[in-house]
Structure 1
């Protein structure tokens, strides 16, 4: 019997492990810098006035549609579609990775929001890190890992695919969040890094648990008595 494909391709374990570590440090550094703040920082002001909800049609419609993909209903639709794709592709471990990565990214972002206490538009609106960005990027990275493994990509091509996918997904959702005035740019960066920190770790743990639970192939033939 063929062993199930790993969630984290072996060639990417080292590079993505290092990226996950760096992303964790970035999440912590930004959180410490803006803990308890309710105003945009200097870095935020370099890009845009994050307190202004000034995007106009047709871009506002695009931003709202993108934002919907991070809302509960849209996120559920995306997750179901991703899981169905994994199962049709005969990658059950990939399906588990998608669900676990998305759930943990949202959970981690929610926990960090309460720990950091950064706000936007009033004390009740916790903003760091962006949960929408964390979710959308996590889903994209999990899918990219599945494709890289399925296509048998080497370290260079596989890493390029994963990082490019993460960048596109994070930029798209991050732009929508900032354009709609829901988050500061540094909130978006924090959410992006949450996904980069979590997904490789989840994939590595999933492979370890699954491999321990999979029985080793043995020769079932028994010797005939003399």
Structure 2
């Protein structure tokens, strides 16, 4: 239908994004059940590092702290504002709504799962599963790549490659920072990464569905007002 704003979820990618989201949600649930109520690293975590040790030293510690800042409230707010401003400058209001909704829903789901799983690190008050930092930054990279794939008109293979590469690279960077700084267990990071992969496709579909219905209603109302 003409006059519609561009979709945030390219139609060619939707079936594959749905499968990816379902698989990622399964991982989140399985890990949440496995580590519910735990307060120490698991076997998988110990394959990588002693997660409760601050294992990084300068100059790499400064790099880890800089990446970690991007997931803190101030850093996250700056990233979201820049992303929204970019969408509006490109005249993509639906994309701007998608960015805000994707971040809010991803962080909200991660926070909810944390309270349900009850896994802690460095004391009983520090809920750790899944990593909210990893979930946030992965979601933002995922959404940016999804919007780029649509704008560039990429096909299914190229589009999925771009989306997965962006989520993997950015998620791995934040995951490394969180584990290196002793803020999370490796499986917390995996859970945060999968939370983003599960939430973003569903959010994209809902934003597109809602926007298309509103645009259809607006178009119908305009036609009825014509003499």
Displaced runs of 4+ in structure 1, greater than 3 A? 216-224
What is the rounded CA distance, in whole Å, between the counterparts of 1:163 and 1:96 in structure 2? 22
2:55 paired residue number: 54
Displacement, 1:194? Answer: 0.4
1:99-138 superposed matches below 5 A: 99-138=100-139
Q: How many residues of Structure 1 are paired with residues of Structure 2 in the alignment?
A: 224
Call closer, same or farther: CA 1:19–1:223 in 2, change over 3 Å: closer
- SS of 1:215's partner is helix
Q: Which has the larger radius of gyration?
A: 1
For structure 2, list consecutive stretches of 5 or more residues without a partner in the other structure: none
What is the rounded CA distance, in whole Å, between the counterparts of 1:221 and 1:104 in structure 2? 36
TM-score under structure 2 normalisation?
Answer: 0.95
Query: Is the helix fraction higher in 1 or 2?
Result: 2
TM-score under structure 1 normalisation?
Answer: 0.95
Contact conserved, 2:4 with 2:212, CA < 8 A, in 1? no
1:170 paired residue number: 171
For structure 1, list consecutive stretches of 5 or more residues without a partner in the other structure: none
1:1-226 superposed matches below 5 A: 2-215=3-216
Q: Which digits, 9 at most, give the CA deviation of each residue in 1:92-131, with x for residues without a partner?
A: 1111111111111111111111100001111111100000
What is the rounded CA distance, in whole Å, between the counterparts of 2:103 and 2:224 in structure 1? 44
What is the rounded CA distance, in whole Å, between the counterparts of 1:73 and 1:104 in structure 2? 18
Call closer, same or farther: CA 1:130–1:220 in 2, change over 3 Å: closer
